[in-house]
Amino acid sequence: MKTCLITGGAGFIGCEVSKLIENTFDNIIVIDSLHPQIHKSGKRPAQLSSKVHLYVSDVTDPIIWDEILSKWKPDLILHLAAETGTGQSLIESSRHANVNVVGTTQMLDALVRNDAIPNKIVLSSSRAVYGEGKWLNAEGMAFFPGQRSNEQLVNGEWDFENSTFLPMNTNNTVPMPTSIYGSTKLTQEHIISCWCKSFDVSYTILRLQNVYGPGQSLINSYTGIVSLFVRIAKQNQSIPLYEDGMMLRDFVFISDVAQAIHEVMLSENANGKVFDIGSGYGATIKEVAQLVAARYEAPNPEVCGKYRNGDIRHAQADISNTLASLNWSPKVSLNEGMNLLCDWIDGQLGE
């Protein structure tokens, strides 16, 4: 394939992918707004491949799309551009909807307008589309509990009574978002799938779990819980644990995510499918906080009882379908990945 266009390609995932595909495509085009919430300096990230043609602009701007597509006709598009703050999306709903939904439709309209229909689109979606996911009740019957009410959270009723969480799987977990962010990502999925089917374009959707690792933003308070824990521990403070600290999260290392994206870019077997991308291991937030605290000899993490509306209780991927369908598997364990991230953060902070 000749030309790959990546939206949001100067971000955490985009930079990692750009290095991985340097020799896969003749041209790599990136459009990214370099939003100050992620890119403090507003300059081209050093981690971005030198082979990338970077356009600093917003995906919602039809003018920049016409400028890009008049010059470049992408064979493949990797759609990463998105506002990603789960909690932030509740108070900045329009911003999230504009970038995630309107940004996607502006891209698709521009592709048609400029006679630049690609062969394939790969969408980076999120586990947030599942919401609370699927659970088993005391009788062993599966059910979808939906969003936890504000009353539940105020009363500290973190779990669904006498019920057990089941890992998320595209084949049997019905998407039921509990945040504006998750809702916009599910909308992205629907938009991409129906547009691609109408224009005979191949597509693949990846529902990513909690991506972490070197290169993630250290200034964005709405994403990257691990980097937040590191900053607290390095100040010799106790890491506060929201709820009871026993929420499950599936932390998947950045290099594993980039490899998964690269695989589906090239795999015809991935066309028209939705995959869960995670480590397959559900770590409690307490476990992660304890790993970080031990690394920096900080005080033990302590439950603070706070919570965030829109947050889900548990998130863990069932990656069995992904492993069976793709030539891919996660390689980096949580312990190894945490140490690699901490080493990188120490280097960034000059310590």
Burial 289-311 (b: 16+ CB within 10 A, else e): bbbbbebbebeebeeeeebeebb
Structural domain that includes position 117: 3-348
Task: Point out the catalytic residue in the list 55, 130, 181, 222.
Answer: 181
Give the whole-angstrom CA distance, residue 36 versus residue 54: 17
Higher pLDDT pick, 321 / 36: 321
Residue 130 is a catalytic residue: no
Q: Output the CA angle 175-263-56, nearest 5 degrees.
A: 80
Model confidence, pTM: 0.95
Domain total in the chain: 1
Q: Is the pLDDT of residue 74 over 90?
A: yes
**Average pLDDT for 188-197:** 98
pLDDT digits (tens, 9 = 90+) for 216-227: 877 665 567 888
Q: Which CATH number characterizes residue 13's domain?
A: 3.40.50.720
pLDDT digits (tens, 9 = 90+) for 300-311: 999 998 998 878
What was the pLDDT predicted at 261? 98
Are 279 and 250 within 8 A, CB to CB? Answer: yes
Task: Give the pLDDT band of residue 351 (cuts 50, 70, 90).
Answer: low
Token output for 50 = 């030198």
